Amino acid sequence: MSVRFRPLLVLSIFCLAGTALAVELPSNLPKRKPGLWEMQMSGMGGQPQIMKLCVDEATDQTMYQMGAQMSGSMCSKYELSVKGNTVLADGVCSMPGPQGNITMTSHSETRFDGNTSYKTDGHIKYDPAVMGRSEATVTSTGRWVGACAAGQKPGDMVMPNGTVMNIKDMGGK
């Protein structure tokens, strides 16, 4: 995957997640088990990106709030539904691009296996095309791997390059 394309992949995945988080969350939304989660994201060619995140209930709530803020300013359409262990999300979002705004139309399905793993399959269409691509398919999986590591606090995320940041700090909290 080209270095220039990686930020677009990350933004696309956040937009898929953000679309799901921008609406009022259903009370039957599946919950993740507190502890250390390993998340793998792939799409648009290239190697999968693996991150680890220390999660507790408050961290998930912070992520939901961040997604709502981001999507609220970028997306004109949100639809979210829960059917059994599957969360369906659809959105239409606009983001600035080098040649003007880019409209991203997304659909994702997240299937939970209890509270210890999930898989998201998403499809995004770009109008106009971005770097020659008008569509992308992204996949994200997550699995609970145990307790957070010694010294980790909820919200700590280890990026693919080893950089550690805290999700809560990104929201200015």
Alpha-carbon span 168 to 104, nearest angstrom: 26
State the residue for tokens 């700090």: 169
Which H or E run contains 158?
A: strand 156-158
Q: What is the pTM of this model?
A: 0.78
173 has pLDDT over 60: no
For the chain, what are the domain ranges? 6-170
Q: In what order do the strands lie in the sheet with 156-158?
A: 75-83, 86-97, 100-112, 117-130, 133-146, 35-43, 49-55, 156-158, 164-166
- 21: tokens are 């988080």
**The pLDDT of residue 150:** 94
Contact 89, 20 (CB under 8 A): yes
- 47: tokens are 């190697």
113 has pLDDT over 60: yes
**The pLDDT of residue 79:** 76
User: pLDDT tens, 12-45?
Assistant: 444 444 444 345 666 787 888 999 999 999 986 6
- 64: tokens are 């939901």
Q: DSSP letters along 60-84, please?
A: HHHHHHHHHHHHHHHEEEEEEEEET
132 versus 117: the higher-pLDDT residue is 117
Nearest alpha carbon to residue 143 among 31, 47, 40, 21: 40
**The pLDDT of residue 7:** 43
Decide: residue 59, CB within 10 A, 0-12 exposed, 13-18 middle, 19+ buried: buried
64-69 average pLDDT score:
63
CA 124 to chain centre: 13
